[in-house]
Each structure stands twice: as C-alpha cells, then as structure tokens.
Amino acid sequence: MRNIGFNLILFTILLGISIFWTFGLYRTLFRFAGLSIFSSIALSSFTYGILYFSIVSLYGIQNIPRSIGIIQPALLFISLLISRFTLKYLLTGSFNKSEKNKDNVLIYGAGAAGRQLYTSLELNVKYKVVGFLDDDAQLHRQHLFGQKIYDPKNLNKLKYTKDVKLILIAIPSLNKINKMKIIDKISDKEILIRTLPNINDIIDDKLSLSDVKDFLIEDLLDRDVVKPNYELLSKNIASKTILVTGAGGTIGSELSRQILKLSPKKLILFELNEFDLFKIHEELKNLYSNLKIIPLLGNILDQNKLDKILKIFKVDTIYHAAAYKHVPLVESNICEGVRNNIIGTLCVVKAATKAEIKNLVFISSDKAVRPTNIMGASKRFAEICIQIYSEKNPSINFSIVRFGNVLASSGSVIPKFKQQILEGGPVTLTHNNVTRFFMTVPEAVQLVMQAGALGKEAEVFVLDMGESIRIKDMIIKMINLSGQTLKDKNNLEGDIEIKIIGLRPGEKLYEELLIGDNPVKTIHPKIQKINEPSISYAQFEKNIDELNISLDKQDSEQVKKILDSVIRFYNSNSKIVDYLFNAENDLKKKSPKNNDKNNIVKFN
C-alpha cells in the first residue's frame, strides 16, 4: 500500500513537471503575466487531468479511489492559480496594477492582428481592453480572451456602458476603400481612433505588430496609395553612385532611405544643415552598415565644390531636392529664395553637364503651374534651367518631377493642424474653399525615382492623384479622428472651432499640376508626362545675368519683375512683403536727403 502511494506521488510529480514544462509555465515571468496566463494554466491543467484520469480512474490502481482522478487535477488547477497570482501580488503589490487609471479600449478586428494586439496590451499601463468590434455577424456575442465581440452598430451604446475612450483598428490587411468605410462609420462617435500599422510596413520591419499610433497620415487621403513599379525604381540606382542634394529634408531623407533599399554602389548625402545631415546619416549607417554612405556638408551655390564632388566620386545619378519651399517665408525673403531655388539649381545642372553624369532628376512643385508666389515662380524658372541644359546635353537624361503637397512634410500644414487640435483649437484656415492635391512622402519619393528612369528630354512628370482635397474637409476629418467634434453654428457644444484667417501673400485657392491640357501616358498607369514650353538659350542667359545683378543688389522689386518677364503665366497676387526690402525703403523715406526742406536756414 505504502509503495503504491509512493509510486502514485512520484508519477504525479513527473507527469505534472513534464506537462507544465512543455506548456511553458516554468518559463513564464509571473511578475509581468496578464490575464491570458489563466488560459495557459487551464490548458496545461486540462491536459494533465486527462492523462491522470485515464491512468488513475479508467485504468484503476488498487486501493486508490477512482474519484482521485478527478479531485486531484481540480485541486492542482486551483492551487496553481492561487499560487501564481499570489506570487504576482507579492511581487507587484497588485493583481492588475493601476487598473482604475486605464482608458477603456475597444479593438476593431477580432482576427490575428486583433488577438496579438490584445495580448500586447494586457500589461499596458494606459489601456484596458473591454471588448472587440467586428463586422462579421457570425462572431457577434462570441468571446475572445474573455472579452465579448460586438457589432459596430452598437458603438453608441457601448461608448457609455463601457466608458470607451479609444478604438484601436487592428486590421492591417484592409485596403484603402474598406478602411475609409470603417473610419467614416466610427469617426463621428467622439471617440479617439488609432490604427495598427499597414501590413506592408510590418513585413518590411518598419514597425512591430504591437505598435499603436495616432490615425495614419494616409488615412486623410480618399484614395489608395499609388503602388510603384519596382523595375523603374531600381533602374538608375542599383550598383550606381547616387547624390542627393537636400538629403536632410523631408523628401531628401526619404529618398535616401529608399535608395539604400535598392543596393546602390555609393550614396552621397549633400546637405547645408549640419544637424539634419547628422540625423539622417546616423539613421542610415545604423540600418545599412554594409553600404557606403558619405555625408557632405555644403551649399548647392558652391559651384567649385559641386564640380569636385561629381568628379571625385564619379556620380551616376543626381536627385536634386534642395530648395526653399515654404511659400510665406520665401515671399518675405525674395532674394534668398530665388538665389537658392534658381541659381542653386543652375549650379547643380552645370556641374552635372561638366561631369557628364547619366541622370539628373529635379524635384519641382505643383506651385510652379501658373504661379502666384515667388516660390512657385522660382520653381518654374528652375524647370526652365533643366529644359535649357537638356537641349544642349542630349546624352544626359534630365527629368522634372512635379507633385502636390506632401503629407507630414516639413512644409505641410498637417503637423500644424494636429498641434492646434491637441491644444484645443481653434484650427486656423486661410479660406473656406481652399483645395490642394496631397500625397504621402513615400509616394512622392517613389514618383521621383521612377520618373528618373523614364525621363530623357526634361519632360515634366506628374502623378495622377485623383481629386484635389478641400482643406476644411480634411480638418474636420482630423478633428473626428482625434475623438472630438467640430464647433460651429450648427453645433455650439462642439470641441474644436475652425477660424478663417484669410489667404496669405502669394497663396492660391487651388493648385494645378499641368500648364497644358494634353498629358501623355507612360508605362506606369498613374504617371503622366508633358513637355512644357521653354525659352531660347540666348534669352535665358540674358535673364540669368540680370537676375544675378539684382540678387547681388538685394533688389527684390527688380527680381520680381524679371520673374514676371520670364515666367509665362506668373501672376503675383500680393505686394512685395520682403522684410529687408521694405525695411530699407522705410529707412530711405526717413533719411535726411528726403527732408532737405527742413534743413533750410531762413534769413530775415
């Protein structure tokens, strides 16, 4: 009898250890374990119970009651739970620390991503998952990890009964149209919305599956992101030496990231701003330690340095992204904006032709089309520089890429709108009816790279970006996605107000992408091209000489007149607001020379 009892105890210990080790209970850090550990203990105890019951109760052991086969596994399960959660309490001081301070969360999507997101949030100090939402009617009222799966139609009721503060969209495989349908369906419930990354970002290791972020910038676009042609992307990059000017800017830095994915022979980062160059170089060398990345401080106006760089490093392709692009800032600093955007581009083009490189891609803007501001006019003049030198140097593939506003770039209004919403408003808007074309940073960069592969004779390439977006509608969507409501005459109890402040100097109500009306299709279904009108080389040389003289004199008025004479459709919609020019004129008006009559001595 004693031997039987000893053998049973030994059998119980060995069976329990082997099963619990297999299920990982001995490798679990219970200090950090969430409620999901309950299912692990239950599953391992159930497996143990089946085997124990089979041997003790079904097979039978002399002088051992058969009921032991049921009672012992049950008691073991209870003791495991009590011991593990008591240990957690002793180590942390709580079974679920700071539970009362957590925001209640609903996860939209009960699939694999939703399940993984739930697991990653168990120990989150900010969020507590109180249920799932899913459009699949077969899942409604079922439970996942002990949480009920609800119909999204019941969101209004759930908002109050569950005190929901946040909805996390966890369906990374959704296409743009279906994602927008979900966002539109839930964005008016005054609940903050955040999203899981796109599945492609997860695959590319850009983000982890557990990342949760504010509404994605591309959620503001009412169209699918344009997919690239990978053959075109790599054509002028793979195994070649690439130079990116303005490499520390929004476009230049993203260009550098995507270029390195395509295995260039060498990447040269050319940037004027020391800190921006340091940041992008540090980021890239940590990601691509096996590739040669050369950071060079310098100004595109330094012709000698550009010549030397292209000669020494034997550059194959240039992506010219360096530019001043903030419309109001360039409008109030005319000479510097024009010098950098026009003369700087001319320096790059001259260096490229002298070194006889293979490809040069110039990054332009939709503001170059029928410009109403200095920035747009300078970009159009820079395009003419490219066109003129393309005619003189047919062996070099010149390309001009023109696109609309880039979401979340350094010149974009989106970060400003987000900050104003975060601060409680008001959100400032220049005009109720102002519209713009928008694209994401990766889209813009991929267009640049593909156009470089398509271009030969300074054609202008544009992306088919669908309809332009009304900025006011975008702001309202941002307010709703942030879990708040618009405050206006129809909703005086709303959260965020939109304040109209009037158009800024040089600003247009709407933008265009083409001067002409006959764009030509390319092999890429979303990229079109057109040959824009240019001027003669003799006229160009004369205008450049005049421009240099006026720039040296800091004569903003004359610079503006030259732009007006060269740019066919330039129509400035504001007076000169250049700070230096206006301050100098004010000083002249107050000088003694203009007040000689006050200095006349009268004799009696």
What are the distances in angstroms from CA 151 to CA 136, 139, 171, 185?
8, 9, 16, 12
What are the distances in angstroms from CA 256 to CA 285, 290, 340, 357, 440?
11, 15, 21, 19, 16
Residue 226 DSSP class: P
Q: Which amino acid is at 245?
A: T
CB 385 within 8 A of CB 191: no
- Rounded CA-CA distance 178/152 in Å is 14
CB 222 within 8 A of CB 516: no
What are the distances in angstroms from CA 282 to CA 257, 291, 296, 314?
12, 13, 13, 24
Question: What Rg value do the Cα atoms of the chain yield, rounded?
Answer: 33
Q: Which amino acid is at 494?
A: G
Sheet holding 427-429, edge to edge: 427-429, 496-500, 486-487
- Look-up: residue for tokens 């022979």? 265
533 burial level (CB within 10 Å; 0-12, 13-18, 19+): exposed
Residue 574 DSSP class: S
- Rounded CA-CA distance 364/509 in Å is 19
Centre a 10 Å sphere on the Cβ of residue 260 and count the other Cβ atoms it contains.
18
End-to-end CA distance of the chain: 145
What phi and psi values does residue 5 have, to the nearest 5 degrees? -65, -40
User: Which H/E stretch holds residue 469?
Assistant: strand 469-470
What are the distances in angstroms from CA 63 to CA 2, 72, 76, 552?
10, 16, 21, 109
Residue 162 annotated to the active site: no
What phi and psi values does residue 342 have, to the nearest 5 degrees? -100, -60
Provide the token pair at 128: 């507590």
Rounded (10°) CA dihedral 301, 307, 308, 313: 110
Centre a 10 Å sphere on the Cβ of residue 450 and count the other Cβ atoms it contains.
30
Of these residues, 128, 367, 472, 529, which one is catalytic? 367
What phi and psi values does residue 571 have, to the nearest 5 degrees? -140, 85
Sign of the Cα torsion 302, 303, 304, 310 reads: positive
The string of DSSP codes covering 334-375 is HHHHHIIIIIHHHHHHHHHHHHT-SEEEEE--GGGSS--SHH
Centre a 10 Å sphere on the Cβ of residue 405 and count the other Cβ atoms it contains.
22
Helix (H, G, I), strand (E, B) or coil at 267: strand
Provide the token pair at 457: 């004779």
> Cβ contacts of residue 244 below 8 Å, gap of 6+?
252, 255, 256, 259, 267, 268, 269, 270, 318, 319, 321
Annotated catalytic residues are 367
